[in-house]
A and B are shown apart, each in its own frame.
Chain A
Amino acid sequence: MTALFRGELLKLRTTRTALGYAAAAVILTLAFTIITITSGDLHSLADKRSALAVGSGVSAILLLFGVVGSAAEYRHHTLAPALLVAPGRSRLLVARMLAYGGAGLLIGALMLIVGLGVGIPLLSGEAGPSLRGDDYVHLIGGGLLDSGLCAMLGVAIGALVANQVAAVIGVIVWLFIVEPLAAPLLHRASAYTISQTATSLGGGTDGELLAWGAAFAVLAVWTAVFVVGAGVVDARRDV
């Protein structure tokens, strides 16, 4: 498994995809943080924490990062030579998820450094209570877990769908159309959707929320469901 993980990590490092997504995530975080803090009065703890959190929009970028990287294996036929030297498809998928999870953590760390580095000084001028130590633990710990898990979930979705364009469009439609439209109908259960668990885990405060431990568990279950689905489909798929 170590060799597979190292091989997938090497593949990840040797195209511009990860760099592009990292840049997009950091720029979006920077823009989101500055716009949120400078455009409104953030007096409550919830508002301030939300302004610094890894939002669901940024989580979506990491999800797409995993989707694009994973589905590219089928689009560019790069899976075949890998399977010829390492025929275990499930092991290869798990190794790829771990590699993207690690990359997601790294991108999440960059986002947090930028977001907190810019946001904390800007928030210092706002009235109301200041963020406490446990708020920062949630923002940082939850943000990192959110980033890593979203990238892994993306890999699983990409492996399940295989068609890169369909997978990307499907994820965007699901996160930004289906889940928001379904939220009023789901009431409290909307806290368990993918975007809302990502928001809860990252420290966001909008919509129905879960405690960040529960959010981590739910997002992990979402990931596990897609991994199992991808494993079953991939085992029967012709490459």
Chain B
Amino acid sequence: MSLTAPATTTATIEAVGLTKRFGPIAAVDDLSFRVREGAVTGFLGPNGAGKTTTLRMVLGLARPTAGSSTIRGVPFAQLSDPARTVGANLESCGAHPGRSARNHLRSITTLGGLPPSRVEEVLALVELTSAADRRVGGYSMGMRQRLGLATALLGDPAVLVLDEPANGLDPQGIRWLRDFLRGAAADGRTVLVSSHVLAEVEQTVDDVVVIHRGRLVKEGPVASLTTGRGVRVRTPQVVELIAALERDGAEVDRHADGLLTVRRRTAAQVGDAAWRAGIPVHELADDTATLEEVFFALTDDTAAADTTEPVVA
């Protein structure tokens, strides 16, 4: 079955100066970010970076020491119909181990004033129907994740907030989750998904918010983070190509095996310059970083210690 499109596509999440202190320790420190509507936003950071604490504050489950957050312009607690506006799944699936998945979903549906028919719909969506009458205490980690996701989907919400949803999922489950998240965004939903495993989210997210030690270190579209290192070009006539490119105003770094990195020029411009100089080119591509490389660069402790102000893309 497929998800039905939400009634509106104006959903956004915004945090302004969110701070959470536990005694002298700042778990979240003056964190501000914005989640674009209709996009899948990855909320990334190493373990202990403050991701879950931040999500709990956004969802009204934890009180910020300072700052505020809104969903569709109002604090979570003031949403007129929270069950149909925001669906969330935090670290635990939130079901009593002695209760069956079906009864767990029935209870949440009743508490939220949602149609009872949603229980069977979300069970089918997360492929848990056959195990729905088993006690949750006997579920595997992956099944609990699916149940948590089913709980989040009960209200058919316009905004999804998912904390490490891929934890415990097998490769098929991760692929299913990826397709599901992309489908949710295609339906106009806003998705904020936290993770510390970048391979899981790299193919899924449109934007990222990267935090480290409770502070924002980067925010923006994935493409803006992973591109911009230059152009990779390989040629047997290294010296001649360097001269041609430098005459053209480019900055060139030389590596082994005839590999050059060219900055301040696009791949097309580099190719044109080589063609005009009559120099053969064996490889030509934009030199993009993986999200993982960007993440490690941003959350490296030495680099992070040098960052006195958050860098917002």
Contacts and interface: CB of A to CB of B under 8 A. Distances in A.
B108 interface: yes
B111 A3 contact: yes
B250 to A, nearest CB: 53
A227 B276 CA distance: 83
Nearest to A92: B111
A10 B106 contact: yes
Contact of B90 (A4, A10, A11, A80): A80
Contacts of B138: none
B131 to A, nearest CB: 16
B308 interface: no
A238 B107 contact: no
A81 B92 CA distance: 10
Interface string A61-74: 00000000000100
Contacts of A82: 107-108, 111
A87 B76 contact: yes
Contacts of A72: 96
14 contacts: A4-B111, A11-B99, A14-B99, A14-B100, A14-B104, A15-B98, A16-B98, A78-B94, A84-B59, A84-B88, A85-B114, A86-B112, A92-B111, A239-B61
A83 B110 CA distance: 13
A85 B99 contact: no
A17 B135 CA distance: 14
A69 to B, nearest CB: 10
Interface of A: 3-4, 6-8, 10-11, 14-17, 72, 76-78, 80-87, 92, 236, 238-239
A10 B100 CA distance: 12
Interface string B75-102: 0110100110011101110111111100
Contacts of B86: 84
Given A238-B56, A238-B61, A81 B96 contact: no
Contacts, number: 89
Q: What is the predominant secondary structure among interface residues of chain B facing chain A? A: loop
Contacts of A238: 56, 61-63
Contact of A77 (B88, B94, B104, B111): B94
B87 to A, nearest CB: 8
Nearest to B89: A81
Given A72-B96, A78-B96, A239-B56, A7 B111 contact: yes
A85 B94 contact: no
B96 A85 contact: no
Contacts of B114: 85
Interface string B109-141: 011111000000000000000000000000000
Given A3-B113, A72-B96, A76-B97, A14 B103 contact: yes
A239 B62 contact: yes
Given A3-B110, A78-B95, A238-B56, 12 more contacts: A10-B110, A14-B106, A15-B96, A76-B95, A76-B97, A80-B94, A81-B108, A83-B60, A84-B87, A86-B83, A238-B63, A239-B62
Contact of B107 (A11, A17, A239): A11
A77 B289 CA distance: 39
B34 to A, nearest CB: 21
Contact of A81 (B63, B94, B103, B110): B94
